[in-house]
Amino acid sequence: MDRRTREYLSGRFGDYYRDADPTLPPAPDAREWGHIPWTGGESTTMVRHQSIYDLGDVDDFLAREAPRHVYFSAARYDDPGADTMDEKGWRGADLVFDLDADHLPSVDPAETTYAEMLAACKDALQRLLDLLETDFGFEDVTVVFSGGRGYHVHVRDDGLADLDSAARREIVDYVRAVDLDIEGLVRTRAVGGATRRELRTAGGWGRRTHRRLREFVAELQALDEDAAQERLMAFDGIGEGRATTLLGALDGETVADGNVEAGGPGARTLVEALARETVADETAPIDEPVTTDTHRLIRLPGSLHGGSGLVVARLDRDELDAFDPLVDAVPERFTRRSVRVDVTDPGVVELDGDSFTLDAGEQSVPECVGVFLMTRDRARKVKE
């Protein structure tokens, strides 16, 4: 990035921050703060090991320094401005999750547009929130659009701050269903002098599999017998005989009990197949190092992302469904005028509710588009 472009972006970020209202985390004075300035060269310089007292008033600091990126620590410390982690005096840390579109198994960054990547990431976010709120019962949950390729989730329920990295990794493994014992979702229980194999329906992945089993049986019951049998036989390991036995055994009461004994071997095959489908559809591909790192720095809500010019936006749960990051996270200040840039990486840009097909070379574009291109090194600022 050349000097003119850096100076332009720094100036416009400063203009944004003069009217911004960033959302500080709880106990901001116990957090480490960090930022990346608009320095030249290929490398980025992280300024960290600062306390909020080193910054002074956060609003004034942001307007004055206009940093490229702004962070605070998930951890709380006795002395957050100390130079080493040992000297800081760790008190505990928020439980933080990061979803990045580049890490989604369904997304190929080379073949997927930015808008499509963000849409896929929001789907993954909904799955993550369902797991955190339904399976773990977490209540103090904050959702933040990262301003880049995904979302951050901060959980601050009582009792979580003291979790070490190993305990946080167990939560990650559950959310991602790492090494999930599919067979272990079925237990053997004594019933009336006999034993019966049944799903663990009280919670966790057993309850989720049971829900899918009930939905599948409802689907079968809506079909005629031949179609239902064909549907069952689509699963590996279920032939005509097992399908016939299953159709006779999978009545509503049996499914409600989670009983997989009545249908014989075919029932267990079906349950294991549905469990694998459940895991594939309901896990969330979170970035493990972010959650397990008890000293992690995370983006400040209300700040600007220096790789997009979009706002790092804190979201209420009731506005999440309607949230469109390429519209709602565009700073209003950058929508009021056009700027002249030299486009070096042409292509389509979807932003602020419109789509722009840009050729290489000098041209005038809406400022939000120009800022987006310049922060991503796809354009340079030129004289007006």
Catalytic residues: 98, 100, 287
Contact (CB, 8 A) for 207 and 201: yes
In degrees, to the nearest 5, what angle opens at C-alpha 71 toward C-alphas 66 and 73? 155
d(CA 147, CA 288): 20
SS3 letters across 50-69? ECHHHHCCHHHHHHHHCCCE
Which residues share a beta bridge with 106? none
And the tokens for 93?
């840390």
Q: Which of 292, 290, 289 is nearest to 170 (CA)?
A: 292
Distance between CA 371 and CA 190 in Å, rounded?
A: 66
DSSP-based three-state secondary structure for 289: helix
Strands 69-73 and 141-145: what pairing?
unpaired
Instruction: For 233, list phi and psi in degrees, rounded to 5.
Output: -70, -10
**The amino acid at 328:** D
Cβ-based burial of 376 (10 A; exposed 0-12, middle 13-18, buried ≥19): middle
Query: Residue 190: which residues within 8 A CB-CB, separation 6 or more?
Result: 196
